[in-house]
Chain A
Amino acid sequence: MLTVALPKGRLMDKALELFDRAKIIETTNYGESRKLIIEDNKADLRYILAKPTDVPTYVEYGVADIGIVGKDVLKENKRAVYELLDLGIGKCQMIVAVKSGSGFNKVQELGFSAKVASKYPNCTTEYFRSHGIQAEIIKLNGSIELAPIVGLADAIVDITETGRTIAENGLEIIAEVFPISARLIANQVSYKIHYHSLREMVKALEEVI
């Protein structure tokens, strides 16, 4: 039996729907339950419902053989796992945004003492360094859009799907950091041990993406 770490929330429903279409499972009715471990004997799968940011951790340590998680989480916390497939769901963008009318049009204009707020300090550091800017990173845990408005930061690095929340909070996007979508990941040893069934799964998923 393979153990799958799934991210609780919207992405999980989309992922299960994809698994259903690829005929890996038959039902998508797992979201209703409050259980954290669900067994699907028919498909010979066991699900661990985890916080999205914890999915790669479960997979790296091998308590889950495979997992589904956004590229943002993988980039922020580099984990030694196989990244088998871009599932093409949960698409969004990691972006840099500033207060509308602040006059900043490019990240380079933020200068060398830029203050940047983000839930993703590692991605933020890497992005600004690659542009030659030693930004001061302010780690926040939510409502990132607030930071430039109240004067905590000059810019934010955050995820957006449509850009609406950004615009509604009086911010504008000045750069795209990287595109995000959900990935199928696998534990390094599980991948080798269950190689054939996992390659079959990848093939089946590739056909419905």
Chain B
Amino acid sequence: MLFEIPEGTKDFLLGEAKWKNEIEDLLQKKLRAWGYRQVITPSYEYLTTLSQGEESRLDYFSFLSENGATLALRNDFTTPIARIASIALAEEIRPLRLFYRGNLFRLKHRDKREFWQAGAELIGDGSRYADAEILALAMSALDELGIKDWGLDIGHRKILQGVLEDSALSKKAQKQAEALLLQKDYAGLKALVEQEKTGYDLLLLPSLRGQEEILEIAKTKLASPKAKEALGEIEEILKALKPYGYKQINIDLAMVKDLSYYTGMFFECYAPGLAGIICTGGRYDQLLANFNHSEPAVGLAIGIDEIMEVLAPSSQKSLLDIPDLCLVYSEIQYKEAVIEAEKKRQTGFAVVLAKKGPHLPQAKKYLEL
């Protein structure tokens, strides 16, 4: 019998596990430094809770409880945190800053079915300053992790919404257009618009990516008032971001996200050498209303697996996980060795004990008593 692990899961062994914790600890320190407080939610919840955040994505592992209720492994942290903020922490002073770290489960998340995230949610502040704080926190975390040449793209839910509403496309064609933009199929989008003979503004979106100056160009090119309003919001966010001093920010008006709960600004961070997104997030002002507690919110999530993939080439040193010292004793020195080892441990060394012999455990240094 072969004892393999299921598809899409992963063991973190020795140095890799140590390194993963170091990354998460570093992020945790960063989040705490910005005043965010940790919550730990259950690994599984009632599906009715998790599905408050999702309209149509059937991307979760589900099973039944003994009384017949459908349970599902968490496939997102933001929805459980919206539940907490709306109920258990409803009376806490706003704005409420919460963070999390842990594992998530999806059936079709690239090649991983279990994956790891750390992230922050800023609840009860609908201002552009809150948007800027989340963006700056994301960028500050990427710098702290030592990721080189990362980039950040900002988009806005209402750009596409506005352009679609402004067109004469049928509801069905609008859905198609959104799906094509999500798949980044610009060739397909062009074919759709030419076939429907409306929605030509959609074809402008892929060319509207760049730094701040793109906003002015977009204002003159896009007809939709809703899209213009979104452009004004992005402008205000950039203004609020100025004091933080980041330069690597782009605006991407063709950006579409697959989580339906976003209502305003959203963003993606990427880095050379990784096809996926290392950090993402955005504003979700309607999600808490699903838990009968209407409140604006904005958040970010950092992909731990993706961070590890990007940093892997420079991780050799971090991957070493060997005790600092091995105390080698002979039979009669056993008691002395135990006392000595405990003394060393008190001063911060990782110490193992070994009886003198041909096979000693791995250690950086050996000390014979």
- A residues with a Cβ closer than 8 A to B are 60-62, 80-86, 183-184, 187-189, 191-193, 195, 199
Contact = CB atoms under 8 A, between A and B. Distances in A.
Contact of A83 (B153, B184, B207, B270): B184
Contacts of A183: 187
Nearest to A184: B187
A199 B275 CA distance: 19
A37 B186 CA distance: 28
B188 interface: yes
A80 B187 contact: no
A189 B187 contact: no
B274 interface: yes
12 contacts: A62-B274, A80-B275, A83-B187, A84-B186, A86-B191, A184-B187, A188-B184, A189-B272, A189-B273, A189-B274, A195-B210, A195-B250
Contacts of B183: 83
A182 to B, nearest CB: 10
B270 A192 contact: yes
Contacts of A84: 186-187, 206
B186 A82 contact: yes
Interface string B106-142: 0000100000000000000000000000000000000
Nearest to A199: B207
B187 A193 contact: no
B287 to A, nearest CB: 26
Contacts of A191: 184
A62 B187 contact: no
B190 A192 contact: no
B186 A189 contact: no
A82 B182 CA distance: 10
Contacts of A61: 275
Given A188-B276, A195-B209, 6 more contacts: A60-B275, A80-B275, A83-B183, A191-B184, A192-B252, A195-B250
A81 B210 CA distance: 20
Nearest to B153: A192
B186 A193 contact: no
A191 B187 CA distance: 15
Contacts of B271: 189
B185 interface: yes
Given A188-B270, A188-B275, A189-B271, A81 B184 contact: yes
A138 to B, nearest CB: 25
A82 B151 contact: no
A82 B272 contact: no
Interface in B252-273: 252, 270-273
B274 A85 contact: no
A83 B250 CA distance: 20
Q: Which 8 A-B pairs have the closest CB atoms?
A: A86-B187, A82-B184, A83-B185, A189-B270, A83-B187, A183-B187, A62-B275, A188-B275
B279 to A, nearest CB: 13
A198 to B, nearest CB: 10
B187 A187 contact: no
Nearest to B254: A82
Contacts of A86: 187, 190-191
B112 to A, nearest CB: 13
B115 to A, nearest CB: 15
Contacts of A192: 151, 153, 209, 250, 252, 270
A193 B269 CA distance: 12
Contacts of B274: 62, 189
Contact of B275 (A83, A184, A187, A193): A187
A193 B270 CA distance: 9
B180 to A, nearest CB: 9
A82 B189 CA distance: 12
A205 to B, nearest CB: 11
Contacts of A188: 184, 270, 275-276
Contacts of B273: 62, 189
A61 B110 CA distance: 12
A84 B274 CA distance: 20
Which of A80, A183, A195 has its CB near the most chain B CB atoms (within 10 A)? A195
B184 A193 contact: no
A189 B276 CA distance: 8
Given A62-B275, A188-B275, A199-B207, A193 B188 contact: no
Interface string B139-172: 0000000000001010000000000000000000
Nearest to B149: A193
A188 B187 CA distance: 15
Nearest to B190: A86
Contacts of B184: 80-83, 188, 191
Contacts of A60: 275
Interface in B181-203: 183-188, 190-191
B151 A193 contact: yes
